[in-house]
Amino acid sequence: MLIRKPDDILSSEITPEAVWRSRRELMLRAGLVAAAAGLPGWAARSAFAQDAGALPGKPNPAFSVMDKQTPLSDITSYNNFYEFGLDKSDPAANAGKLQTRPWTVSVEGEVGKPRTFSIEELLKLAPMEERVYRLRCVEGWSMVIPWMGYSLAELLKQVEPTGNAKYVEFVTVVQRENMRGVRSGVLDWPYVEGLRIDEAMNPLSMLVFGVYGKLLPGQNGAPVRLAVPWKYGFKSAKSLVKIRLVEKPPVSSWMKAAPQEYGFYANVNPNVPHPRWSQATERRIGEDGLFSPKRKTLMFNGYGEQVASLYQGMDLKANY
């Protein structure tokens, strides 16, 4: 378990803000110099081209892993966001068209106080935190990402879920003119995902607005997305527009498209293979080179301490 509790981390171990800020600035400058020098690699990457606004947040070491962080250029150039195309490079190429202002998220269903939040309200709803989460894609690769945001529970508390709110359904945006991928029949649009209410209320479930101290770029799910780090990446729906609290388990887009391959839970589990490949190992993007073997995938992506209790007594082979 690599997550440390706040009490066993020495304050001397935490890099002072001034230091990491100046490091980042240095890195950014180095990037700009390299870009100006016309190095083809930099030119091809969109990380510095799409410089979204700053989004500062207080590092939350209790919710941060110590793994080496994946470079921003990889996080923003290697994405699954089918609304913008099926190739990993398509979202970075096409998500610039996504209109993120004005933006609202309506929270409705089995709640006492249904409400539509503007993105400006959401950005101020709770203190912004930086949490370094692992992301394990169902395809067998992983990243380590410093997300900016706060616990999803902060938002859900605002609308006062009723006793009937057993599940939460997440609906994402469809902008037909701006998303060329929605013309394809791969999935039913809009993309829908779901969590059980106790999963959604777990403090690890995060509402994300930024990455690496900046607002999210389109390809990463701007302006607001989920990060549910103990589940495969596709559970962390991007560009949210609606959150519905419901009594019955929602049917996600992937469950509809391939029910034999994708279940409701989609917890990271090295012991339950995907019907077409093993989930026992993974490749860490930006870190594992051509000569390093794949690394072992951890149960619940290494977040067992926080979430294993949610599934006590459940057969995780049947509830995949």
Partner 1 sequence: MEAGISQAPPRRTQLSAKTVGRFKPVLFLLGLAPFLRWFWLGANDGLTANPVEFLTRSSGTWTLVCLLVTLAITPLRRLTGQPALVRLRRMCGLFAFFYGAMHFMAWVWWDRGFDPAAMLRDIGERPFITVGFAAFVLMTALAATSTQWAMRRLGKRWQSLHRAVYAIGLLAILHYWWHKAGKNDFEAPLIYAAVLALLLGWRVVERWRRRA
Residue among 64, 73, 297, 306 that touches partner 1 (CB under 8 A): 73
Find all residues with CB under 8 Å of 200, minimum gap 6, and list them: 152, 153, 156, 168
Q: Which is nearer to partner 1, 249 or 270 (CB)?
A: 270
Q: How many residues bind partner 1 (CB under 8 A)?
A: 31
CA 216, distance to chain mean position in Å, is: 11
88 vs 115, beta carbon nearer partner 1: 88
- Pick from 74, 121, 160, 188: which binds partner 1 (CB under 8 A)? 74
167-172 and 240-246 as β-strands: parallel, antiparallel, unpaired?
Answer: antiparallel
Given CA atoms 288, 290, 296, 299 in this order, what sign does their dihedral have? positive
Measured from the CB of residue 142, what is the shortest distance to partner 1 in angstroms?
11
Find out whether 145 and 70 touch, Cβ atoms under 8 Å.
Answer: yes
Q: Which residues of 294-303 are buried (b: 16+ CB within 10 A; e: fewer)?
A: eeebbbbbbb
Query: Of 112 and 185, which CB lies nearer to partner 1 in the complex structure?
Result: 185
Cβ–Cβ under 8 Å, residues 55 and 213: yes
**Alpha helix positions (H), 212-278:** 253-257
Under the criterion CB under 8 A, does residue 20 sit at the interface with partner 1?
Answer: no
* Nearest residue (CB) to partner 1, 70 versus 100: 70
86 binds partner 1 (CB under 8 A): yes
Q: Is the dihedral of CA 183, 249, 139, 2 positive or negative?
A: positive
Residue 78 beta carbon to partner 1: minimum distance, rounded to whole angstroms: 4
Least distance in Å: CB of 74 to partner 1? 4
257 near partner 1, rule: CB under 8 A: yes
Spell out, one character per residue from 270 to 289, where the chain touches partner 1: x when CB under 8 A holds, - when not: ------xxx--x-x-xx--x
Q: Per rule CB under 8 A, is residue 44 in the interface with partner 1?
A: yes
CA distances from 226 to 95, 162, 190, 196, 235 (A): 18, 22, 16, 14, 8
- The full DSSP string for 154-210 is HHHHHH-B-TT--EEEEEE---TTT-GGGGSSSSPSSPEEEEEHHHHHSTTSEEEEE
What is the smallest separation between the CB atom of 63 and partner 1, expressed in angstroms?
25
Phi first, then psi: give them for residue 80, nearest 5 degrees.
-105, 110
Least Å distance, CB 195 to partner 1, is 24
Query: Does the protein bind partner 1 through residue 234 (CB under 8 A)?
Result: no
Per CB under 8 A, 14 contacts partner 1: no
Positions in 180-199 near partner 1 (CB under 8 A): 184-186
- Does residue 30 bind partner 1 (CB under 8 A)? no
Residue nearer to partner 1 on the CB measure, 1 or 33: 33
Site of interaction with partner 1 (CB under 8 A) = 39-42, 44, 73-74, 77-78, 82, 86, 88-89, 141, 184-186, 257-258, 261, 276-278, 281, 283, 285-286, 289-290, 293-294
